[in-house]
Amino acid sequence: MRRAIVAQVNVMYAPTVIELEGVSVSWSNPVRLRGVVLRDGNGKAVVTSPTATLDRSLWQLATMQPDFGTLTLHGAAVDIERRADGSIDLAEALEPILAGGDDDDETLGDDEGPSTRFTLAIDAGTLKLTSPELAAPVTADRLDMTLVCLPAPLSWEIALTNPDARSLAVSGHYDARNPEAAEAVVAIAGSRWPLAVEQAGVVAEGIFGGEVGVRMVGTDLQLTGDTVLTNVSAGGPTLKGDQPEFDRIEAAWDLDLEAEGVAIRQLDLKAPVVTVGLDPDGPEGGSKWVGRVDLAALATQMPNTLALREGLTLEQGAVDVVAILGPEGEDGASPAEVTARIAELSAREGTRVVAMDEPITVSARLQQGTGAAVEVETITVVSSFLNAEGQGDLDQGVTFGGAIDLNALDTQLRQWVDLGAVALGGSGRFGGDYRRDEAGSSYTARLAVEGQALRVAGVTEEPIVREAARFDLIVQGPAATPGLPTGWNRVHAAAKTEGVDAVVDVSPTEDALAVRGRLAMDEAAPEEGDPVVDPPSLAFDAVYRSSDDRLDLAELLVEHAMGRVRASGRIDAVSTARVASLTGAFEPDWEAISHRVAEATEPQARLVGTPRPFRLNGPLSGGSTKEILNGIDAELGVDLTEAVVFGLQVGPAPLLVRVDRGEILIDPIATTLNGGQLVVTPAVDLGEDGSMILTIAEGSGIDQIEITDDVSRRVLAYIAPVLREATQVDGRLSARVDQLRVPLAGPTPEDGGAEVEMAARVAFQQVTYGPGPMMQKILGLSGLSQQDVPNLTINQVVDVAIAEGRVHQSGLEIVAAEGVALQFEGSVGLDQTLAMRVGVPLSERLLGGQQVLNDVLGGTRVGVPIGGTLGQPRLDQEAFRIGLRQQGGRLIGRGAAVGAGQLLRMLGDEDGRSGNDQEGPVNPPQVAPPAEDLLRDVGRGLLRDVIGGGSGRKDEQP
């Protein structure tokens, strides 16, 4: 029978669960119970009692209905929790039980019979009460309680006692029979009762004694109290290490907070740093209330919280508040004047006295009418840095506005507190209003702030500087009569400044916050020489659940000129680790990408591909990029179907990047390139300084790719500059990478960061070409004309390296003709600047084709520097002239063996013929004009100086 009764009761009162180990019933004796447990809907035992007694026998239960008597729980342990949302687990557990006793229950019939009666009592129990605002649970070694559950109103008498005569009594009632004027009354009386509360990062403890009363009817609230707190101390992170202590705080009050206004009959507060009380010099028929905060005493107790500058001691200063309430006029209105003033601030720093130049004053004139809204005739704030004014009432709306000088604010604050590196500058103005609808059931509050020449330093690594900025805030929500806000249902915030436009909308749902917003950045005009940067925009639609600290993203959209990213998922632990679980797709705009690549490279560049889905899992917070990536599991990629740049045509290739346990992995790439093969094994190295470097593994490279004019002009010219303007280029190229490192993120080279580095061997395979203008000039210095060398061939291996922003090569030699091998060395900057040198051999071709001079000139080379840029190269012919002169002694020494006179006659004739035409060839080969001019000028002067002993005249003979 017990099991059947308990099962039926639990069906009736679900989700509340009642457990009962045993029951003893009698026709003449009270009902006795064992093992009584009351559990809430979450299964928590809120009341546990070993035994209980119902003061009714079976006969009385059958004959005295609906009076079910009193159920007394003996030695019950009561564990009550008030949650952050205000709900109480014991109240939730009792709610379905108490709901069955409604006087309007149809089971009573229509004859208005006696109402159900039931009382719950606890005898010698214990209590544990936890609540978010309590720093420690309230516990009682003894709990005695009487709760009259039925009939209404619900009433209670609770007595808590602890050792050392500490006691707390709570009584009251709650009557909700009239929903529009539900009444709740609570009376608390304590003696030496310890309290510990925690709010906003402050933990306060003390011993409570006295009485507190609360009475609420509808929305009207009456508060009374006469209390004493002793041994008061405070601490917590908000106080920054301060631990103020006060021996005694006395407070007494008697207030009415009603729709018609506020009535103050008594308000007295006596504390070491604060006093509030009634001034006997108030107006006739009215009252005057004064309050003071002793800032000097407060600074002594809380030096770290007030953050005064080091070495500064506040000796004097106070906040004085005066409220004068006038007598009620004929129209029922009561005027009020309230003034708050911070003045008389004086501090000492060594022998120097620091004083506030101008006080800060807030004053208001109000009109409070019976049954009407409070009218603000004026409210003003006056200081050296802020001036503001407001007026209005809830019927017509309240408006306010003003101006703030951040430079003056910075100066004022810096006198008193240590701002560190923080510095403020600029000015601003603001305005807003507060209005309710006609019925007074909802309100709208607006605030607009505009700033000019703003500068905030010390908050971020670089100062925040804005010529102009605007911030708008709109808050809407329900209101109670006569229009005062009781909550909110929408917050709209918008901020706009140079380059940034952000909007966020927040609205509460049943158990969460719906958050929608967008962030757009304007395209900023680049500095000269800087690339154009397309700013991205971001939009999101999400729901934030504070109970789980979770953000559910219905959509995250990031748009850029190069494409867009769509994602959805969730972010857990938003306020701490921000653990993301996102999936989506990257949708490149291949037309825009191709256009941008073409602008940066060459007009025919083109990229085409298809997107792949991406995923991201792991925490988004950490001390560095490397720490974040250590917990990330992600994958992002595209399938490249076509790519053409500089005449290099890349075949289809998947590009897939994965992040796994702190490593960034890129799948190897194997595809075709201009009829050849491309094999690359990339990776990414992460540095402790946040750097990210792309590396290409040794052995990666290209094989047998076809060379075109575009490839030679735009790519190979960095290795062999003579290919810049070459024509009819044909051949193949292979290359193997020994090392390649390309920094993707991190410090710049100027700040000690990495630069592009490469070491490779490049094999030119029968690369033929027609010489361009630069090569033609070099050939001319060698005694060759374009007719002599219509085509050239490169067929060799060259070592190539990139360091310090330049492409270095060694081993490049181009054979222009028999005995004419041009040797190149030097570098080409990534900015296309040339720092090259070509070794030009001296041969008989330079001297009219005299075979007899081979022994004189053999093996002699003259270096010619090549400067300028790839687009405008410059051969230093003066350096070539000097080089020839430096080789003079060697030429003359060799020439003596074969006849210096013949050498002189060949070089000495102004028109290129010797003094005796019979001794030379009848038709000597044509000599290129640059070489002819240089050689005749240098040779004639040099040989005459060495052999003839003087400059000589044209017609003189050695």
pLDDT tens column, 456-481: 998 777 888 999 999 999 999 998 76
The pLDDT assigned to 3 comes to 83
Phi and psi torsions of 333, nearest 5° = -90, 145
Which contiguous run of DSSP H or E holds residue 503? strand 500-508
For the segment 308-333, the average pLDDT, to the nearest whole number, is: 84
The answer to whether 721 touches 829, Cβ cutoff 8 Å, is no
Residue 615: partners with Cβ closer than 8 Å, 6 or more residues away? 582, 583, 633, 634, 635
> Could you say which DSSP state residue 945 is in?
I
Structure tokens at 470: 């605007």
Of 100 and 397, which is predicted with more confidence?
397
The pLDDT assigned to 181 comes to 83
Q: Considering only CA atoms, which of 646, 618, 762, 783 is closest in space to residue 711?
A: 646
Inform me whether the pLDDT recorded for 696 exceeds 80: yes
Residue 728: partners with Cβ closer than 8 Å, 6 or more residues away? 709, 768, 769, 770, 791
| Cis preceding-peptide flag for 359 (omega within 30 of 0) | no
Inform me whether the pLDDT recorded for 212 exceeds 90: yes
The predicted-structure confidence for 244-300, as pLDDT tens digits, reads as follows 999 999 999 999 887 666 778 899 999 999 999 999 888 887 889 999 999 999 999
For the segment 128-143, the average pLDDT, to the nearest whole number, is: 92
- Give Cα separations from 786 to 771, 779, 909 (angstroms): 8, 8, 25
Structure tokens at 747: 């410090």
> Model-level pTM?
0.60
Separation between Cα atoms, residue 545 and residue 320, nearest integer Å: 43
Cα 882 to the center of its chain, rounded Å: 63
Separation between Cα atoms, residue 46 and residue 34, nearest integer Å: 16
3-class DSSP state for residue 254? strand
3-class DSSP state for residue 722? helix
Burial group, residue 581, by CB count within 10 angstroms (0-12, 13-18, 19+) = middle
Inform me whether the pLDDT recorded for 556 exceeds 90: yes
The pLDDT assigned to 455 comes to 92
Which sign, positive or negative, has the C-alpha torsion 90, 91, 92, 93?
A: positive
Q: Tell me the residue type at 536.
A: P
Kindly state the percentage of the chain with pLDDT values over 90: 41
Structure tokens at 226: 């006469």
Separation between Cα atoms, residue 904 and residue 847, nearest integer Å: 11
Structure tokens at 676: 């050849």
The pLDDT assigned to 259 comes to 65
The pLDDT assigned to 162 comes to 94
For the segment 36-65, the average pLDDT, to the nearest whole number, is: 91
The pLDDT assigned to 481 comes to 66
Of 933 and 688, which is predicted with more confidence?
688
Separation between Cα atoms, residue 517 and residue 543, nearest integer Å: 12
Residue 818: partners with Cβ closer than 8 Å, 6 or more residues away? none
The pLDDT assigned to 260 comes to 64
Cα 180 to the center of its chain, rounded Å: 48
The pLDDT assigned to 434 comes to 92
Residue 616: partners with Cβ closer than 8 Å, 6 or more residues away? 567, 569, 580, 581, 582, 583, 632, 633, 634
The pLDDT assigned to 44 comes to 92
The pLDDT assigned to 951 comes to 41
Inform me whether the pLDDT recorded for 558 exceeds 70: yes
The predicted-structure confidence for 632-685, as pLDDT tens digits, reads as follows 899 988 899 988 887 788 999 998 999 887 788 889 999 999 989 999 999 888
Listed in sequence order, the DSSP H helices in 566-643 are: 590-600, 625-630
Listed in sequence order, the DSSP H helices in 496-655 are: 590-600, 625-630
For the segment 200-214, the average pLDDT, to the nearest whole number, is: 94
Inform me whether the pLDDT recorded for 847 exceeds 60: no
The pLDDT assigned to 114 comes to 67
Q: Considering only CA atoms, which of 172, 180, 128, 134 is closest in space to residue 153?
A: 172
For the segment 402-421, the average pLDDT, to the nearest whole number, is: 88
Residue 453: partners with Cβ closer than 8 Å, 6 or more residues away? 425, 426, 427, 467
Of 708 and 951, which is predicted with more confidence?
708
CA angle 805, 806, 808 (to 5 degrees): 150
Of 506 and 902, which is predicted with more confidence?
506
The pLDDT assigned to 482 comes to 66
For the segment 335-362, the average pLDDT, to the nearest whole number, is: 88
Going by pLDDT thresholds of 50, 70 and 90, the confidence category of residue 603 is confident
What is the Cβ-side half-sphere exposure of residue 331, based on CA atoms within 13 angstroms? Answer: 7
3-class DSSP state for residue 846? helix
Buried b (16+ CB within 10 A) or exposed e, 710-726: bbbbbbbbbbbbbbbbb
The answer to whether 376 touches 403, Cβ cutoff 8 Å, is no
- Of the spans 62-76, 618-632, 686-700, which averages the highest pLDDT? 62-76
Number of C-beta neighbours around residue 835 at 10 A: 14
Separation between Cα atoms, residue 96 and residue 169, nearest integer Å: 27
Of 357 and 204, which is predicted with more confidence?
204
3-class DSSP state for residue 164? coil
Q: Considering only CA atoms, which of 395, 385, 478, 497 is closest in space to residue 438?
A: 395
Inform me whether the pLDDT recorded for 345 exceeds 70: yes
Cα 339 to the center of its chain, rounded Å: 41
The answer to whether 487 touches 377, Cβ cutoff 8 Å, is no
Structure tokens at 934: 């240089």
Which contiguous run of DSSP H or E holds residue 411? helix 406-416
For the segment 906-933, the average pLDDT, to the nearest whole number, is: 42
Separation between Cα atoms, residue 67 and residue 958, nearest integer Å: 151
Determine which of 93-107, 571-585, 607-621 has the lowest per-residue pLDDT on average.
93-107
Inform me whether the pLDDT recorded for 374 exceeds 90: no
Inform me whether the pLDDT recorded for 816 exceeds 90: no
Kindly state the percentage of the chain with pLDDT values over 70: 85
Residue 34: partners with Cβ closer than 8 Å, 6 or more residues away? 20, 21, 22, 23, 24, 50, 51, 52
The pLDDT assigned to 160 comes to 95
Number of C-beta neighbours around residue 429 at 10 A: 15
What is the Cβ-side half-sphere exposure of residue 399, based on CA atoms within 13 angstroms? Answer: 3
Inform me whether the pLDDT recorded for 937 exceeds 60: no
| CA terminus-to-terminus distance, the chain | 147
Of 941 and 665, which is predicted with more confidence?
665
What region does 469 belong to: left with phi over 0, alpha with psi -120 to 50, or beta? beta
Structure tokens at 831: 């900015």
The pLDDT assigned to 332 comes to 65
Place of tokens 């006692």: 161
Place of tokens 């041969």: 843
Going by pLDDT thresholds of 50, 70 and 90, the confidence category of residue 70 is very high
Burial group, residue 113, by CB count within 10 angstroms (0-12, 13-18, 19+) = exposed
Inform me whether the pLDDT recorded for 871 exceeds 60: yes
The predicted-structure confidence for 526-553, as pLDDT tens digits, reads as follows 555 455 557 789 999 999 998 889 999 9
Going by pLDDT thresholds of 50, 70 and 90, the confidence category of residue 504 is very high
The pLDDT assigned to 820 comes to 80
Total residues belonging to the chain = 958
The pLDDT assigned to 91 comes to 83
Which contiguous run of DSSP H or E holds residue 937? helix 929-943
Of 628 and 468, which is predicted with more confidence?
468
The pLDDT assigned to 805 comes to 84
Inform me whether the pLDDT recorded for 851 exceeds 80: no
3-class DSSP state for residue 315? strand
Going by pLDDT thresholds of 50, 70 and 90, the confidence category of residue 88 is confident
Of 114 and 910, which is predicted with more confidence?
114
Inform me whether the pLDDT recorded for 940 exceeds 70: no
The pLDDT assigned to 523 comes to 63
Q: Considering only CA atoms, which of 844, 837, 877, 878 is closest in space to residue 860?
A: 844
The pLDDT assigned to 451 comes to 95
> Could you say which DSSP state residue 882 is in?
H
Bridge partners, 809 (sequence order)? 800, 826
Residue 906: partners with Cβ closer than 8 Å, 6 or more residues away? 847, 848, 850, 914, 920
- Give Cα separations from 580 to 458, 552, 569, 573, 623 (angstroms): 31, 10, 8, 9, 17
Separation between Cα atoms, residue 520 and residue 540, nearest integer Å: 12
Arithmetic mean of pLDDT over the chain: 83
Residue 953: partners with Cβ closer than 8 Å, 6 or more residues away? none
